[in-house]
Amino acid sequence: MASLDDQDLLAEYRSRRDFDKTPEPKAKRNKKSGNSFVIQKHAATRTHFDFRLELDGVLKSWAVTKGPSFDTSQKRLAVRTEDHPLAYGTFEGVIPKGEYGGGPVMLWDRGTWEPVGDPHKGLEKGHLDFILHGTRLKGEWHLVRMKKDKRGGKRENWLLIKASDKYAEDGSEPTQDYETSVESGRDMDQIRTGESAVWSSDKSKKPGASKAGKKRWHGKPPPPSRKATAPEFISPQLAALDDEVPEGDDWLHEVKFDGYRIQARKEGDRVTLYSRSGLDWTVRFPAIAKALTKLPCKEALIDGEAAFVLENGLTDFKSLQEHIDTDNPAIRYYAFDLLELDGKDLKKEPLAERKEKLQALFTKKKLPDRLIYSDHIRGQGEAFFGQACRTELEGIISKRANAPYKSGRSKTWLKVKCGRRAEFVIGGYSKSSAQGRPFASLLLGTYQDGNFVFAGKVGTGFNTGDMKRLAAKFEKLTRKTPPFAEVPSADKRDAVWLTPKLVCEIAFTEWTKDGRLRHPSFQGLREDKPAEDVTRDPPEKEVGEMAEKPSEPPAKTIQKKGGKPQDEFAGVTLTSPDRVLFPQQDLTKRDIAEYYETVAEAMLPYVVNRPISLVRCPEGRTQECFFQRHAMKGMSKTIKEIAIPGGETKKKYLYIDDAAGLFSLVQIGVLEIHDWGVSIKKLDKPDRLVFDLDPDEGLDLETLKAAAIETRDFLADLGLTSFLKSTGGKGLHVVAPITARSGWDEVKEFAKAVADALVTARGDRYTANMSKRARKGKIFVDYLRNQRGGSAIVNFSTRAREGAPVACPLRWDELGGLKTPSPYTVETLPKRLASLKGDPWEGFFKTRQSITKKAKKDLGLE
């Protein structure tokens, strides 16, 4: 068989095209290796998406009929097509009618890809796993070849499937969210005609009106001006939460809108709208984009908010979500800052001057009604705040009048809310006399110093569905005695007591002097936090209290015991130590570092000298997060780099070898640490097996517990001792250490055989198929963490999830008493460590066991 170098991989591509008639790139193979990928929307006989991965100097190609989906239950047909030259990865234009594939071609997405395992073996076996780093597509994906057509058809049909990871989302269809080119910003009609503007205010520029409209792009589209390129996004300034309105005339106060933060850039007759995280949302608010072309300027960069305005004048987020992607006239754009104007950067100018220029821009001529200048009040903050709350606004934003615009969260912008939200535990309910209503109100409490303290009652905010769900849960929790330390006599009448297990979120205005909620409203149940962790915030954190706020100590003078600076950990000094990373718990970067300082001794043996992958959230859990597995410039030297052979990329991976490395991860905003199943000493020999038991939503905890026991016992029958881990999510990990002898392929094959055996034994309980449909009512046994590049959350790592949960090693005898699969958080796990008398994973590092021939034979692998 001829070698790859000798094969003409582009012969079929060449034979199908007449390059005198089509502008497509000629059939030239690139000898240099790379890892690019591209997706091109192609309106041929039928519109489809061409999915292309660079390998062996060409683009391996599939035609995906409906395009990629982030929904793991969607298996999209991907028909294998001929290999394309690498130059095709920059092609956007029109293939002439009558030629092969005639029609417009759009560069819909592009980036780099990482194969998981050997891509050549994957293509040969018909199962290619890989990770995409695109503008629009990210995370892990699978291409799976289907069985050949029994009728002798020549088509090679594959399925493109999204893997289950943090980018997966039920019902998410990116091809519906993004309808423009990542290169030029054009839609298919504009590519067909050669038009370049997204929104044009010049009505004479109709499709095909000029010779330029007939030009096709060949190779990289060359924009002759900035109009044809994707405009730059500037990370927005964010407001810090406060509970007091700042005083004085050096503060400007604005209404807080209940909508989507939108940054708008106008360049000529082209407008691009960006979301808070920098996504191109022009297609989400088409009418706003069109209206902004009317601004009397050539170029501008504006900060503002898209909101849906009700008849009473209030903005409503729920209504905005229902009408997004439409031109509903109630959708308005409130502009509150001007960052650039006609080529001049204004960010360093005082806010008051920027707003003066913005107001002049919006009043210079009559603009569409949906464009509104967001006015302000200077000084008189308390009066403005009071009026906002009386008119049922969400709150206000207070900004220093003389401050420049600075990306990120700072205290020159403050948000002060009229009300607040918090979590409470349901300890009972009052009976209702209304027919069909299961209860009148809920009795709420929080834990304080080990006591369950009554906090009041809530009787509003429920819909019919809420009441039915709550009533069903109450049946199993009924008890005869009050769970509260004390309850007022009036609130005991007609009360039905419940064991305090259910956590709910309540919106309220303030606390009364006797410790009761004022104007509470039920928002929903919370299943991500144990009841015993629900405590009342200290008075200085509660809106409505008149307690004096503590002064903020100077950052440079705070000292720990022993004279060490508070913001220094293992020699690593934190910048922005007060940045809030978990807003709900008000946990700062310093708090996370202090947590790791507490658990470092127990954690480090599980993470040092092992390749790691990271989830970074530099601005906090609720802001933009991203996955990182490769080294990048500017990282601390305490975060080490290592090349890992066997993949297509030459980029180096990451590891740490001491506590300084751990705190350097905290410094760069890492909220999750995942490690590969190998040490850096034997990068091709895994030293553990991980079985991730991932239950379907709503599956009861007892079934998950039983599954963990069954998996443990099944592995024991194969001669493997295993250990139990809470992941900080809804599943559990069963982990078996192994001697580093077998390679990745053998370990993955063995892990899959174990998963398949569990499915065969209990098809009613397990599935090894990651699709949502197959997982309905079952537990997905995720064996794919046992492949090259696969990773699992490290013991004691934080999770970028609500409630600040952490991964935690557990003893098997603790399983029966678990009340939730994620029992510990940043705030509670240190207490657990302090109380432990022994290591829950005692013997883990001393266990000597391997994948034996007998075990493989028992699984049918020998």
Helix 589-607, helix 659-667: angle, nearest 10: 140
Residues 80, 61 contacting (CB under 8 angstroms): yes
Angstrom distances, CA of residue 475 to CA of 160, 454, 491: 44, 21, 21
User: Where does 2-86 show beta strands of DSSP type E?
Assistant: 36-43, 47-55, 58-64, 76-85
Residues 413, 399 contacting (CB under 8 angstroms): yes
Cα 256 from Cα 334, distance rounded (Å): 10
Neighbours of 682 (CB within 10 A): 11
Sign of CA dihedral 607, 613, 616, 622: negative
Choose among 510, 800, 756, 498: nearest CA to 628: 800
N residues, the chain? 862
**For residue 524, what are its two tokens?**
């929903």
Residue 244, classed as helix, strand or coil, is coil
Sign of CA dihedral 164, 170, 176, 178: negative
Residues 388, 395 contacting (CB under 8 angstroms): yes
- Active site residue ranges: 256
Contacts with 136 (C-beta within 8 Å, 6 or more apart), sequence order: 108, 109, 174, 178, 182
Q: Long-range contacts of range 770-778, CB-CB < 8 Å, 24 or more positions apart?
A: 770/72, 770/161, 770/163, 770/164, 771/72, 771/73, 771/74, 771/75, 771/161, 772/71, 772/72, 772/73, 772/170, 773/73, 774/73, 775/694, 775/696, 776/696, 777/696, 777/699, 778/695, 778/696, 778/699
Residues 708, 735 contacting (CB under 8 angstroms): no
Choose among 499, 532, 518, 497: nearest CA to 423: 532
Contacts with 554 (C-beta within 8 Å, 6 or more apart), sequence order: none
